[in-house]
Structure 1
Amino acid sequence: MSSPARSAQSEALEVRADLGRYRVIRRNGSVVPFDASKIQVAMTKAFLAVDGGTGAASARVRDLVGRLTAQVVETLERRQPGGGTLHIEDIQDQVELALMRAGEHEVARAYVLYREERARERAQKREASPASAPILRVRHADGSEQPLDLERLRQVIGEACSGLGEAVSVDAILQATQRNLYDGISEAELFQAPILACRVLIEQDPAYAHATARLLLDRVRREVLGEPATHAEMAQRYPEYFKDYLRTGIQHELLDPRLAQFDLDRIAAALRPERDLDFQYLGLQILYDRYFLHVRERRIELPQAFWMRVAMGLALEEIDREEQAIAFYEVLSRFEFVSSTPTLFNAGTLRPQLSSCFLTTVADDLDGIYEAIKDNALLSKYSGGLGNDWTPVRALGSYIKGTNGKSQGVVPFLKVVNDTAVAVNQGGKRKGAVCAYLETWHLDIEEFLELRKNTGDDRRRTHDMNTANWIPDLFMERVEANGQWTLFSPNEVADLHDLTGQAFKERYEHYERLADAGEITLFKRLPALQLWRKMLTMLFETGHPWITFKDPCNLRSPQQHVGVVHSSNLCTEITLNTSDKEIAVCNLGSVNLVAHLRAGLPGQGLRTEASADELLALVDTDKLARTVRVAMRMLDNVIDMNYYAVAKARNSNLRHRPVGLGLMGFSDALLALRIPYASQAAVEFADISQELISYHAIDASADLARERGSYRSFPGSLWSQGILPLDSIELLARSRVAGVDVDRSQRLDWESLRTKVKGGMRNSNCLAIAPTATISNIVGVSQGIEPIYQNLYVKSNLSGEFTVVNAYLVRDLKAADLWDEVMVNDLKYFDGSVVPIDRIPEALKPLYANAFEIDPQWLVEAAARRQKWLDQSQSLNLYFGQPSGKKIDETYRLAWRRGLKTTYYLRSLGATAAEKSTVSKGVLNAVPGQVKACAIEDPGCEACQ
C-alpha cells in the first residue's frame, strides 16, 4: 500500500483519540460503540457498486475513502462536541454529504438507492410482524433505573412550545426525541435529547429557536436547582433561589461579598422570571457555555440571576445601590442595552476586569518592547482585547548605538507577540487576540503587509494575530495624485509619530529633502500607488492589514490637547490617546436599536426614500433617551469598579474616563421598518438613529459631570470649547486639499447641548460602535451595523453549530403563503440568498439582499453618516460579492474621502461557497457559505463584545 493510502486510512481510523465518547443508536433501539471503520466500509461498498473491484481496489479510492471518513467524523464531533449518542440515520446522512461534496455523484446515488432499498425491506418486515413498542428505562446518576416517563417528557416539550403558535409542533419534537432514546439512557442524555431534536427543526420555523431555548432552560434549571422545576413554578422559586445563589457564589469566592449587603428582598422581588422565555437557543446556549458562573462545572446561575449579578456589580458604589441595580437590570434583562463581554463575564466577581479594549504604544528599546509584551499578557489574561502601536520601533537595518549593530526591525518582535496571544488566552474562556498597527511611512511596512501570508519564512509570519495600516492623509493624497512616497526608519524621523495634519505634512516633506540631500541614508522611495495596491492586494488575499486613517482619528479627537491617537484597537472602533506612560482603555456596551422602534410599523411596502421627520416618527425617542441615560451611567461605573492588571491602564482610564456606547440590531431595524440596506432611506436612518444615540449619550455624560465632576483632562478639550463631533468635521476638512465630502445636516437641538458641555463632561469619549459578535447573539439580533449575512445558514462558534433563519423573511413568506419545505430547500441550495428563487416576489428581494449582494458603497455611505456623530469610530466590515481590484480601490478611496476613521475586515466569498446538507426525503441542499480571508465570527470581534 502506498504511503498516501496508509496515511488516509490512519486519518480515518484514528481521527480522534476520544471517539469513545460517542455511541450509535441502531434502528432497533440498541446502542453500540461508535466505530469509524464501519463508515469506511460502507463507503467502500458504495464505490464497489459503481466501479466494481478494480476501482475500489485502487489507491486513489482508498485514499479518498479515508479522507471522507475523517470528514464525516469531524462533522459529527463538531455538531455534538460533548459526546453522546448518534442515530445511525444521521451518520448515513453525513456519508451522503461527504460523497456529494467530493463530486462522487454516481457513488452517492448508489448509496442513496441502497438506503432506500433497505428502508423498504424494514418496512415490509414491520408490516408482516408488527412489534410492540419497547419499554425504555432511564439510568440515574446513582446507577438505579426507572421506566421512562413519556408523559412527563411530553409535558416538558408542551411547556416549551406554549404560546409559540401553530408553527411549532409538540408531536414533531416528541417524535424526533423518541428516535434518539434507547433502553438504559442516562438522565443527562434524556434531558439533552429534546434539545437536539428541536434544534434541527429551527430551519422549518424560527419559533423553534425559542422552543429549543426553553428546553435548554428546563435542563439548566435542573442543573442549577438540583431538581426539575416548571416555568410556572419559577415565579415562586426565583427569589429564594437567588439568595441561595449569592451565598454559594460568595462561599466559593466567585462573587464579591458586598453583593450580600444589598437589600436582597427588594432585589429578589425585582427579578422577572418570564424574561427567561425571551431567549433564542443560540443566545441561551452561549450564556450557559461561557457566561454563567459554575462550581466544579455545575452552573449556579439562571438567566435572571446572571443579569442581576451584572447589574449589582455595576451598582456597588452607587448611593442608592438597589434603585440603580434594578434600573440596570431592567435594560439588560429586556435586551434594550447589553454591556460588553468582559463586563458580563466579571461584574460582581472578585476580579472585576470589566473593560473591553486596551491600546498601547511600544517604545523603541528592548526594555520597552518586552514591557509591552508583558502588558499584553497581563491584559489578555483578564479578557482584554489588545491594540499595539509599533511605529516607534526602528526598522530593519537601522543602527543600534548600544551594540554598534543593526536592528532586525519590527517583524521578529511581532512573532513573539503572536505567540504570546496564543499562549495567554483570556481567562480560559476564549482565545487571546491582539492587533499590531504600523504607520505607512515605516521602512518595514512592506514586510508588515505580508505577515499573514501562508508562504515565505514562517519565522517572519504571524498567523494568529491581526494587523492594521495606520495611514496619514498625506499618503492618500499622494495616491490620488500618483505621486512618490518615502519610507523611513522611525529612529531617524521620530517626531513624525506624534504629528498629524499639516504639521505632519511639513515635517515629512522636510525629511524627504534631507534624504535627497544625503543627510538621511536609510530610506526607500516608491510610487505611492504601488504601495496602496499592495495594501489592498494583501487585504484581499489574507484579510490583513486593515485600512485605518491616522488624521481623521486625531483631528477629530476631543483629546488632541493631551496626546495623540497612535492606533485603534482590536476591532478598529476605539480611537484613544496612547504613550509610553498611558495605556488607553475603553469600556463598551451597545444599545439594541430594534428594541426602540415604535409599535405599529409599516406593512408590506418598501421604503427606499424617506424624510428625516418620517424616520424620526418610527423611533421611540423617549424610550431611547431613557435607555441611553442608564447605559451611560453603567459604562461610567465600569471605570471605577474595574480591576486593572497594569498601572498605566488604571491611570489613563481614571484621568480621561472614556466609554464607547454603540448599537446593534441595525439590520433588524431596517427589516422591521421595511427599508432595504442598499437605499437612500437606509443611509438616512443610519444618520438619524446615530444622531439620537449620540445626542443623548453626550447629554447624559454632561449630566453625570454635574453629579460626579468632570474628567480630569477636560480643560482644553474640544468639549470645553463647545466643539462637538459634528463640528470637528470642519477641523479635518480644513487640513485636506479636497475637504471632506459628507452630508452635515442635523435635526436636534445641538446648540443648547454645545453650551451645556462647555460646563463639563464626565467622559472624554462617549461613542464607539463595536462588532457585538457575541452579545448580539445572546439577545437574538443582528450584529452591530452589519447587513444580513444570509437568510438561512448554519453558524459555527465556540458553543457549537446553530441554524439561523431570518424571521422577518419567514413572516413575509408566510403572509404570501410561500413558506414551505420547498422554500426551505431552495434557500439552503442558494446559500440563503433570495435573489435566484423565482417564487419569491421581486418586490421583496431588495429588502432581503445579503451582505454580498449589496454594493459596498452603500455600507460606506451609511458609515459616513454615522461617523459625523461619533467621537470615536465604528467596526465597519466591507463585503464584496464579486471583488475586483478596481472595485476594492474605489471603495476604500471613497471611505477616505467621506472622512471615515477606520475600516475593519474585507470579506469576499470563496470560489466554492456551498456545503451540502441533507433534508427530509434525502434531498441534498446547501447550508452555509464560506467566507474568504476571515471567519464570520472572528475571535477578535469577541474580544470587544
Structure 2
Amino acid sequence: MSISMQSEPTGANAPLALASERRPTAEPGYSIIKRNGGTVPFDASKIAVALTKAFLAVEGSKAAASRRVHETVEALTDDVVAALMRRARDGRVFHIEEVQDQVELALMRGEHQRVARAYVLYREERTRERASATTEVAATPKLRMKGQDGTLLPLDEARLEAIVGEACEDLDGIVSATVLTETRRNLYDGISQDELALAPILAARTLVETEPNYAYVSARLLLDKLRRQALTHVAGRSEQATQHEMEGRYADYFRAYLNRGIAAELIDPELARFDLARIAAALKPARDLKFQYLGLQTLYDRYFLHEHGTRFELPQAFFMRVAMGLAAREIDREARAIEFYDLLSSFDFMASTPTLFNSGTLRPQLSSCFLTTVSDDLDGIFKSIKDNALLAKYSGGLGNDWTPVRGLGAHIKGTNGESQGVVPFLKVANDTAIAVNQGGKRKGAVCAYLETWHVDIEEFLDLRKNTGDDRRRTHDMNTANWVPDLFMERVEANGDWTLFSPNETPDLHDLYGPAFKTAYERYEARAAAGELKVFRTVRAVDLWRKMLTMLFETGHPWITFKDPCNIRSPQNHVGVVHSSNLCTEITLNTSRDEVAVCNLGSVNLVAHVSDKGLDFARLERTVKVAMRMLDNVIDINFYTIPEARRANLRHRPVGLGLMGFADALQMQGIAYASDAAVEFADASMEAISYYAISASADLAEERGAYSSFPGSLWSKGALPIDSLELLAATRSEIEVDRTQRLDWGTLRQRVMSVGMRNSNTMAIAPTATISNICGVSQSIEPGYQNLFVKSNMSGDFTVVNALLVRDLKARGLWDEVMISDLKYFDGSVGQIDRIPDDLKALYATAFEIDAGWLIRAASRRQKWIDQAQSLNLYIANPSGKALDALYRSAWRAGLKTTYYLRSRSATHVEKSTLKGTDGKLNAVAVSAPIVVAAPAEPAPVRTGLVLPVIDGPACLIDDPDCEACQ
C-alpha cells in the first residue's frame, strides 16, 4: 500500500485526481511544512490523490473508475480543506502530519472504516520506517522566541527538554521524545512565549488516545505555563520554575500570593492573620502532579483567582485558600485548615463549585442550592424573580416552586379580571436566569416545579418546545413535575384526574399522603357540584402520556415525586417540601418566609476502594472531616437574602454525596449491570450514611443540635432507613430491599440522646465539574463511553477509560487497530470481536446497560439518604412502553426524584482521530413514537421528534451549556 500526501496524480489515479484539481485549491498564501523542515505551497489536489490511493488500496483498481468513489473523494477533500482553514493559525502554515490527521478524521467521520483503518496502519508503518532509518537529515535551523518587548531571543531548547522530561517522569507508557517531536513540529521562528508554553501541551494532548497517562503529561505542562504566570504576577517581574524547583519555593510564593490577592481585593484579609509559617509548611507541592489535563484546565479557566485574566493562584494555594476560608471560625484554625486542605488536595473529598469559587474571598457565598416558593401576588412573584437574580449572582443553583400561582382564567379580585396563569411569569424568570450568568464562570440556571394537579400543567409541559408562541416558551429554564402518589395511583387504575387553580384549592399545596388524598377528593366533589370556577378533568393516563412524551421530546419536565420527599423528610414537623432544586437531589422545606439552602460536597469513592473492596476506616475519616467542613459553610456563608440566612441557620442542612461510583466498580472488577453492583451501591451508601449521621451527632455534642431538632424524625429515633417504613405504610407496596449491615440501633440511641447538628446530611449531586477536577467518573453515573470527546465551558477534551486500557494492555489487545475500532463503535467495546466477554460486561457503556439496573441501585441508595439523588436515566431505544415501565418502576421503588432522561441520537460520537483536534458529539433529529400503555383501550399514537443539538435527544450528553454537565 502506498499513500502519500506529496504524490502527483498518475496512472489509474489520474481521472479522480484531475477532477479534484479542477476544484479551487486553498486560499493563496498557505504553506505545508514537510518532515525535513522545508515548506511547499499548500495544494488541495494532493489531498484528493492521497484519498484516492487509500480507496484504491482497499477496493482495488476498479475504484479509479467509480463515480461513487470520485464523489466521495471530492466531498472528503472539501471537508479536509474546510477543517484546515478553520484551524489556520497566524502564519498560515500547516504541518504535513496535521493534514494527514484531518484526512484520517474525514475518513472516520464518513464511516469509511476499512479505508481509515488501512490509512492508520500505513501511517504507523511509515512512522516506524522513518524512526529506524539511519539516513542523516538536514540540521534543523535554530529558532528564536519573541520576548515581551518584541526582541528575538534564542529559543531555550534545554529548558524545553527539561520541562517535557519532568512532565513525563514516573508515568508508565510515556515517551518524552514523542512529546518533544510533536512539540517541535509546531514551533516556528519568532514564536511568542505564550505559544511556546502552549505547544507541548497541545502535543501531549494529541497522544491521550494512545495512552491515558498523557493526560497527566498535558496537565504537568499546563502547570509550567501556570507557574510562569503566577510567579511573575506575584513577584512583579519575570519568573519561572520547574516542578522540582517549586518544592523549595511554594512557601514563599504562598505568602506573596496572599498579599497580592488581598491587595487586589480578591482574598479576605483575615487569611493573612493565620500562622502563615505553619500553613505554608503544610503545603504539598507534589500534589500538583495528581491532576489530569481536563481537571487542571477546568480549574485554570474557571476557578483559579486572576487579575484581568492573568492567573496567580497555583493548585495547592487554591486548595489552602478554600481550606483556610472554611476554617476561619475554628478555635485552632491552623490545624483545621491543614486538615481540610489535606482532604481536598488528596481528592478524597471535594467541596462543591460555589465553595471552591468563593471560600476565603470577600464574598464567601459557599452554598450550592437554593429552593424558593413563589407567592400568588405580584409583589411575591417579582420578589422571587429578584431573589433568583441575587442568589444566582454568586453561583447558586435555583429551584422554584410555582404551584401557588393561580392558573389561567382564575379571577383576580384587585382588577376584577382573569389571570394569565403561571406561564408568562416563568418566561420572565427564564430570561432573568440568562441575564445573571454568575460572573461568566457558568450560566445562571433555574428549575421551575409545578404540581400535577395545577390547571396550567399542560401548558407547563410545553414550555421547552421549539414550536408555538415563543412568548409562552422558556428555552433555557429547566422544568420538573412535582407528582403526588395519588396521581400515580390514578394512572395505574386508568382513572380520571382533575386539574385545579390553587387560589380555589390552597391547602393542596401543603398536603401530602392520606391528607392530600382526602382534600383532593373533596375538591373533586365540589367541582362536580359546580362550586369551583376553574377546573378541568382529564384521563390520568393521557396526562401521564403527555408528560412522558414531552420528557422524551424536550428533556423536560423531569419526573419527581412529592409524597416520598415529604413523608421521609426529617423536617416534616416544621414545614413542607414543595420542590427539589436545580439538579433534583435536594428535598428541603420552603415557605414565604424561608428559602431553603443546601451546602454540598462529595466523597471520591475511588480514593476509598481497592481491588479488595471498600476501605471503611479511611471512608469514616473522610466523612467525619467533610461533615465538619460542610457545617462550617453554614456559619461562614455570605447570604444575599434574609430568608436564606434564616432557614440555613435554623435547620443547618448539608448534602454529602459521592462520585466515582462507576470507576470504583471497575476497579473491583464488578459490572454495573449486575447484582454485585447493586449490593455495592447498597453497602457503600450505608457506610456513608452511618458515618455522616454519626459525624453530625458528634458535632451536635460539641456545638449543639440545630434549633428545630425537637419533634423531627431524628428526635424520635427515625433514621432514613426507618422513614422508609413510613412511606411503605401509605402504599400497597414498595419494592425496596431492607438489608442492614451496621449497628444502627446504637447510633439511633445516640442521635436521640445528643441530637443532630444538621437537619439533613446527605444528597447525591451530579458532580459534573468536581469529578473532572478529581479525574473520576461523574457521581453515580455509568460510564458514558470508553473513548470520547468531552465538551464543557473549558473546551473539548479527549477522555479515555484508563482502566479499560490497563486491562486491554494486560491481555495484549491495546494497539492502533483497537483505538480505531473504539472510535468507530463510539467508545463501545460491545461490538469489538477481539475483546473478551468479561471485559465487554465490565466496560459496558450507559446505553448498553438496561436502565432497570440504574433504578435498582438507586433504590438501594435511597433507603439510606435523608434527601435525594440526581439520577439520570439512559435509554438507547426509547418507546412509550419502555418509558412508561421505567418511570413507574422508579415510583414503585420508592425513589424521590429522577433527573435527565438521556436517549441516544441516530449518529453518536463523531468518528474522530482526536489527533491534533478534539471532535464534538453529534446529535441529529430522529423521530420515534411515544405510546404509553394503559389498562384500558390503547390511546392514539403520539409521534415525537427529538430536537437537534440545541435541546438534544432528551438530553445532549456533555452539553457545555447544561448545568448538569458543568
The aligned residue for residue 515 of structure 1 is 527
SS at match of 2:249: helix
What percentage of aligned pairs have identical amino acids? 66
CA 1:803/1:560 → structure 2, altered by over 3 Å: closer, same or farther?
same
CA 1:98/1:549 → structure 2, altered by over 3 Å: closer, same or farther?
same
- In the TM superposition, 1:280-679 aligns within 5 A as 280-598=292-610, 601=611, 618-679=613-674
Correspondence 1:142 to 2:149? yes
How far apart in 1 are the matches of 2:459 and 2:900? 20
How far apart in 2 are the matches of 1:341 and 1:625? 23
How far apart in 1 are the matches of 2:404 and 2:698? 39
CA contact (8 A) 1:828 1:925 kept: no
| Aligned partner letter, 2:166 | E
Question: Which residue, out of 712, 717, 730, partners 1:717?
Answer: 712
CA contact (8 A) 1:628 1:696 kept: yes
CA 1:939/1:449 → structure 2, altered by over 3 Å: closer, same or farther?
farther
The aligned residue for residue 747 of structure 2 is 753
The offset of 1:714, in angstroms, is 0.9
CA 1:453/1:424 → structure 2, altered by over 3 Å: closer, same or farther?
same
How far apart in 2 are the matches of 1:459 and 1:51? 56
SS at match of 1:662: strand
Question: Which residue, out of 266, 270, 282, partners 1:258?
Answer: 270
1:753-808: per-residue Cα shift (whole Å, max 9, x none)?
11111131110000000000000000100010000111111111111111111111
Q: Which moved more, 1:129-138 or 1:687-696?
A: 129-138
The offset of 1:416, in angstroms, is 1.0
| Aligned partner letter, 1:305 | A
- In the TM superposition, 1:728-743 aligns within 5 A as 728-736=723-731, 738-743=732-737
Correspondence 1:172 to 2:178? yes
CA 1:670/1:105 → structure 2, altered by over 3 Å: closer, same or farther?
closer
How far apart in 1 are the matches of 2:954 and 2:85? 26
CA 1:255/1:89 → structure 2, altered by over 3 Å: closer, same or farther?
same
CA contact (8 A) 1:825 1:925 kept: no
The offset of 1:95, in angstroms, is 6.5
The offset of 1:311, in angstroms, is 0.3
| Aligned partner letter, 1:749 | D
Correspondence 1:770 to 2:765? yes
Correspondence 1:845 to 2:840? yes
CA 1:128/1:268 → structure 2, altered by over 3 Å: closer, same or farther?
closer
Question: Which residue, out of 823, 826, 851, partners 2:818?
Answer: 823
CA contact (8 A) 1:770 1:944 kept: no
The offset of 1:265, in angstroms, is 0.6
The offset of 1:69, in angstroms, is 7.1
1:419-452: per-residue Cα shift (whole Å, max 9, x none)?
1111110122111111000000011111111111
SS at match of 2:207: helix
How far apart in 2 are the matches of 1:43 and 1:536? 48
CA 1:232/1:793 → structure 2, altered by over 3 Å: closer, same or farther?
same
Question: Which residue, out of 154, 172, 191, partners 1:185?
Answer: 191
SS at match of 2:321: helix
CA contact (8 A) 1:772 1:942 kept: no
Count of equivalent residues: 893
1:248-305: per-residue Cα shift (whole Å, max 9, x none)?
1111111000101111111011001111111111111111111110122211111111
Question: Which residue, out of 88, 98, 106, partners 1:90?
Answer: 98
How far apart in 2 are the matches of 1:83 and 1:447? 55
SS at match of 2:248: helix
TM-score in terms of structure 2 length: 0.86
SS at match of 2:780: coil
| Aligned partner letter, 1:623 | R
How far apart in 2 are the matches of 1:62 and 1:431? 41
How far apart in 2 are the matches of 1:129 and 1:731? 81
How far apart in 1 are the matches of 2:45 and 2:371? 51
The offset of 1:710, in angstroms, is 1.0
- In the TM superposition, 1:230-249 aligns within 5 A as 230-249=242-261
How far apart in 1 are the matches of 2:836 and 2:470? 52
CA 1:31/1:488 → structure 2, altered by over 3 Å: closer, same or farther?
farther
The offset of 1:128, in angstroms, is 12
SS at match of 2:958: coil
The offset of 1:935, in angstroms, is 3.0
The offset of 1:146, in angstroms, is 1.9
SS at match of 1:658: coil
The aligned residue for residue 726 of structure 1 is 721
CA 1:715/1:423 → structure 2, altered by over 3 Å: closer, same or farther?
same
CA contact (8 A) 2:48 2:74 kept: no
1:322-376: per-residue Cα shift (whole Å, max 9, x none)?
0100110011011000000000000000000100000011111111111111111
How far apart in 2 are the matches of 1:806 and 1:935? 21
CA 1:130/1:717 → structure 2, altered by over 3 Å: closer, same or farther?
closer
Question: Which residue, out of 182, 188, 208, partners 2:214?
Answer: 208
CA contact (8 A) 2:109 2:912 kept: no
CA 1:142/1:871 → structure 2, altered by over 3 Å: closer, same or farther?
same
How far apart in 2 are the matches of 1:530 and 1:377? 36
The aligned residue for residue 196 of structure 1 is 202
Correspondence 1:277 to 2:277? no
CA contact (8 A) 1:39 1:69 kept: yes
Calculate the aligned-residue CA RMSD, in Å.
3.7
1:547-576: per-residue Cα shift (whole Å, max 9, x none)?
000000000000001110000000000000
The aligned residue for residue 133 of structure 1 is 140
CA 1:784/1:480 → structure 2, altered by over 3 Å: closer, same or farther?
same
CA contact (8 A) 1:294 1:300 kept: yes
CA 1:371/1:65 → structure 2, altered by over 3 Å: closer, same or farther?
farther
Correspondence 1:151 to 2:158? yes
The offset of 1:937, in angstroms, is 3.3
CA 1:421/1:222 → structure 2, altered by over 3 Å: closer, same or farther?
same
TM-score in terms of structure 1 length: 0.88
How far apart in 1 are the matches of 2:83 and 2:447? 33
How far apart in 1 are the matches of 2:388 and 2:421? 20
| Aligned partner letter, 2:188 | Y
SS at match of 1:768: coil
CA contact (8 A) 1:362 1:390 kept: yes
How far apart in 1 are the matches of 2:75 and 2:833? 41
1:46-72: per-residue Cα shift (whole Å, max 9, x none)?
99x9999x999x9x9999999997777
SS at match of 2:808: helix
How far apart in 1 are the matches of 2:742 and 2:419? 55
